[in-house]
Amino acid sequence: MTNKNNQHVVRLALLLGLFSTLGPFTIDMYLPAFPEIVKQFDTTASLVQLSLTACLLGLGIGQLVMGSLSDVYGRRNPLLISMAVYVVASLACAFSPNIGLLIAFRFVQGFVAAAGIVISRAIARDLYSGNELTKFFSLLLLVGNLGPLVAPVTGSGILSFTAWIGVFIALALLGIYLLMMTKWRLQETLPSDRRRPSNFVQQLRNYGSLLRDRQFVGYMLAQGIMIAGVFAYVSGTPFIYQNIYGASPTVFALLFGSNGISLIIGSQLVGRMSHRVSEHAFLLFGLWLACLASVTVLVVAIAHGPLFALVIPLFFFVAAIGITSTAAFPLAMESQGHMAGSAAALLGVIPFLLGAVVSPLVGIAGEDTAVPLGVIILLTSTAAMLAYFFLVRKSPHGAA
């Protein structure tokens, strides 16, 4: 590949990576403000976590809708409309007068942010396949995984000089920037002759066909259940780090952001070694690493261990997510080029729907214990392992 081609690939990965960071920024930037929002609306931790749940539901359902629309109308126009609505929804969150409306607007915000996630992945599948898709997807994740690293630090920085509404104003400005990038920099990658017919029944059939593909479902669940465990971590650590261990918002942001580094390490390990080690081997390694790390987290939580003893295994747990996500995505997408948008949507919806279920459970025992977090990530790691073995390894084609 020439230097010119390499530069084009890097520029495209940077552009698509910016759109994929919209999800992490939408989820993570306001996390340091959780305690402040509780006081502002005189509400409970669980209700504030419900605003995160609403966002996750929006991100999940939105991917199903946006993935299908992008298969019918192309990638660019649905993304343009979604970015415009995202700006409006972010401003509505900023000026919500009560927790109920904040929860509602967070759903809308998540719904349209989903377009950035699912369409960027569909574009990648439009352009690449096989080992090239794995390499490009790892490069895309290198950019996208900066979101969890930068978002909470950015949110903490904003909170140092303004109230929590400043976070959502900043998200609106990000939406405006991405709207302009879509208008002026993004080219259509799905020509008219490759688009699916505008038929709701046919879209349902597409999803039905994907859900009957045992290996696809196995990869989807293995990846999705693992990422759901991360959402438990995202929902629980603002209270665990700040209320139990007394960390300041800045320290929390640094600790939380450090796991963006572990995501990058995990995803780049797969991308750089994919020509030597198979994606199947990496996926299995990531699943075992997650199980071991989650057991350690639970033991530390039960024993009321020090902060560093909790942070270290969580670092490895999140690294395992980077490994499994990067390995599972190309394996699942390889045979789905004819409906890449729908396949990418299903791969994206499961993590957010499951994350919406587990996020409020982290706070069910109150704000002064980390045990529910340990239990949930252990259960998700175990369930992901079982999905892989029973649906992929035991399928007629099996794992290589």
Query: What does residue 142 show for φ and ψ, rounded to 5 degrees?
Result: -60, -40
Which of the following CATH numbers is that of domain 11-185+210-393: 3.60.10.10, 3.40.50.720, 1.20.1250.20, 3.40.50.620?
Answer: 1.20.1250.20
Query: Strand, helix or coil at 268?
Result: helix
Average pLDDT for 170-177: 94
On the question of pLDDT at 198 being above 70, the answer is: no
Percent of the chain with pLDDT over 70: 91
Question: Whose CA is closest to 32, among 262, 239, 317?
Answer: 239
Q: Would you state the structure tokens that stand for residue 312, as one six-digit string?
A: 């270290």
Average pLDDT for 377-384: 93
Per-residue pLDDT tens for 48-92? Answer: 888 988 998 898 888 888 888 888 888 889 999 999 999 999 999
Measured CA to CA, the distance from residue 275 to residue 17 in angstroms comes to 23
Which segment, 51-65, 106-120, 140-154, 353-367, is predicted with the most confidence on average?
A: 106-120
Number of H helices, E strands in the chain: 16, 0
Per-residue pLDDT tens for 218-242? Answer: 999 998 898 888 878 877 787 788 8
CA 89 to chain centroid: 19
Average pLDDT for 159-188: 90
pLDDT band for position 285 (cuts 50, 70, 90): very high
| Amino acid at the residue 365 | A
What pLDDT shows up at residue 154? 83
What pLDDT shows up at residue 335? 65
pTM over 0.85: no
What pLDDT shows up at residue 397? 55
Instruction: Delimit the domains of the chain by residue range.
Output: 11-185+210-393
Measured CA to CA, the distance from residue 264 to residue 26 in angstroms comes to 19
Per-residue pLDDT tens for 239-252? Answer: 788 888 888 877 88
What pLDDT shows up at residue 73? 85
Average pLDDT, the chain: 83
258 vs 290, higher pLDDT: 290
pLDDT band for position 1 (cuts 50, 70, 90): very low
- Burial of residue 180 (CB within 10 Å: 0-12, 13-18, 19+) is exposed
